[in-house]
Amino acid sequence: MKTVIRYPILFRAHPGRTEKPKDVLVPYLHEHDVPEISEAETHIAFRSQKYALVEYDGRLFSKVGKPGSNSAEACFGHAFEKEELRRRPWWIPTIEGDKVYIRYAGQPLDNLAYYRLYLDGGDKARETMIWPALTPDYQRHLGGPRSRNEFTFQGLVDKIRDINGVQFDAGREEHRAEAERLIVIDGSYWIETTPPAICVAHEGRMIVELSHLPNWLDHDLGRQYFPLTAKDEAIEYARRAQAITQRSEEPVRNFADWTDFRFDDNPLFAFDYEGYSLKRTTFLLGGDIARAMTGNGEIEGKIGSARARAVLSAKEGARSCGADYRTWPDASDLVHDVTDAWKMTGRKPGWTEIPPKRHEFGTMICERAAQMADSMPISVSARSTWTTSP
């Protein structure tokens, strides 16, 4: 089924009226032929009241809706969302009638684009380096765009020049890969999704709820994700974190127990939550320090050359993260230097969100990541030239 999807695309170009090139972040209208299959070729792998996931071709899919429906229009028609909505993971409803946030297909690419801008931004404010303007309210009285979703690359081709072709082609490849996540089952769109997860979040106090594993570097380190089979570990972490919140005397609220959900004993629901958490912590904290180093040359001398190299490696690792958490680079050899450097630089606020009590919570996050790295088994590839020891 031919489908047009708005995806964000980020590249450098020259607007023509400025001295230097700028970062351009606009929607690109991507057309894709979405494959159509029969419901008989799928089976339900997860069900929670009104919410279900199906398995097809060894992948998990959640329902978007029929062509022309509000949910399909939202999924394919929005390249950008407000910041607070863009960064929220995909929630799974826990009670009958609970609102389900409609996802948009470009959400991972949107989050990744903003984070890449932040990493490369030096001492400039985040999210203000983008051209056209992030919120073009000034054009409303002229009948201009009312939101970023109304900009398109196709509408700018006569206004910009010197486009960075490498960046542009890389963005188009990301569009193609994201579009491959869509299928049509008996006339309705479904989108490939990450595993459902137990999310332990800080909302004044610790709460436990169901969500999907974010396919981007979720900036809120107050949120941690666990497989459905790791409920005990999730509750243990929630209680540990609750003890250092500002409402430590209150109990953890477990909303995940409010619903009756069923799922197969299926490897598609498993993920390495320790490795996932370790990478998030290292790349986010490392990115914050690297950004600070760009604006303050004294930081490198303060943390030392070894830690500085680890920080820059973490930044490059973060920039290379795509919209598939399974392909994110390893960070276990960086975590100690990065967390030490973050604590040595005064824990300055950056892209990462750490809830109050910030000092205690940040310490716990760093210690937890270091402990995970220390407990991970060392794996090496076998070599044919190796011999057994006597």
Largest CA distance in the chain: 83
pLDDT of residue 387: 47
Structure tokens at 54: 């199906």
* 50 and 40 Cβ atoms separated by less than 8 Å: no
167-172's contacts with Cβ under 8 Å and 24+ in sequence apart are 167/10, 167/11, 167/12, 168/9, 168/11, 171/7, 171/9, 171/10, 171/11, 171/28, 172/9, 172/28, 172/30
Burial class (CB in 10 A: 0-12, 13-18, 19+), 238: buried
**How far from chain centre, in Å, is Cα 8?**
14
| E strand or H helix that includes residue 237 | helix 231-242
> How many whole angstroms separate alpha carbon 230 and alpha carbon 232?
6
> How many whole angstroms separate alpha carbon 267 and alpha carbon 279?
21
Structure tokens at 221: 């380190």
Query: What is the chain's pLDDT, residue by residue, as a tens digit (390 residues)?
Result: 999 999 999 999 988 777 888 888 999 999 999 999 999 999 999 887 778 999 999 999 999 999 999 999 999 999 998 888 899 999 887 655 555 567 899 999 999 999 998 998 855 555 556 776 544 444 454 555 567 788 888 888 888 889 999 999 999 999 999 999 999 999 999 999 999 999 999 988 899 999 999 999 999 999 999 999 999 999 999 999 999 988 888 888 888 776 667 777 789 999 999 999 999 999 999 999 999 998 888 999 999 999 999 999 999 999 999 999 999 999 999 999 999 999 999 998 899 999 999 999 999 999 999 999 998 775 544 444 444 444
pLDDT of residue 47: 86
Write the DSSP string, 298-364.
HHHHHH-HHHHHHHHHHHHHHHH--S-GGGPPP-TTTHHHHHHHHHHTT----SSB--SSHHHHHHH
Q: Count the neighbouring beta carbons within 10 Å of the beta carbon of residue 38.
A: 8
Which amino acid is residue 357, in one-letter code? K
Sheet with 196-202, strands from edge to edge, namely 224-226, 196-202, 206-212, 253-254
Domain coordinates in residue numbering, the chain: 2-192, 197-376
* 136 and 144 Cβ atoms separated by less than 8 Å: yes
b/e per residue 82-96 (b: at least 16 CB within 10 A): eeeebbbbbbbbbee
* Of residues 214, 201, 196, the one with CA closest to residue 254: 201
pLDDT of residue 389: 47
What three-state secondary structure class fits 7? strand
**φ and ψ of 146, to 5 deg:** -100, -15
Structure tokens at 160: 């910009």
Q: Count the neighbouring beta carbons within 10 Å of the beta carbon of residue 44.
A: 13
Strand pairing of 253-254 and 206-212? parallel
Mapping DSSP onto H, E and C, the string for 9-41 reads: EEEEEECCCCCCCEEEEEEEEEEEECCEECHHH
> How many whole angstroms separate alpha carbon 9 and alpha carbon 159?
17
